[in-house]
Amino acid sequence: MTNYLLFFIVLLLFYIIHLVKKPEEKAVEMKTLSYDKILPDYLNKNCEITFKESMAELDMIYSVSGIIVDMDEEWFLIEVMSKKKKVQRLIRIGCIDSIKELV
């Protein structure tokens, strides 16, 4: 009998943890959606984008400056000047922490 009670309590705790984590996931989705709506204003403009985490594998540590060439629902294409040539990078919109236009 106590085994059933213990199992029920553990199951109830997992359910409560699941309910608590659910609003945090919605907040992250709302922030992503806001950049999805803001980004078209910066299309074909020179801007600086800061990321939530390091992107060292793309030669961009925490920020990149360039011209946003194209975008869709999840990705955007930015043209960056690298040493002597222009390089295009495809980056997920969800990685954006902030964006500002350079004049």
Please write the tens of the pLDDT for every residue from 48-82: 999 888 877 777 778 889 999 999 888 999 999 88
The answer to whether residue 21 scores a pLDDT higher than 90 is: no
Which residue would you say has higher pLDDT here, 26 or 39? 39
The answer to pTM > 0.85 is no
55-62, Cβ contacts within 8 angstroms, sequence gap of 24 or more: 55/91, 55/95, 58/89, 58/91, 60/89
- The amino acid sitting at 78 is I
Q: Which domains are seen in the chain, by residue range?
A: 2-101 (2.30.30.100)
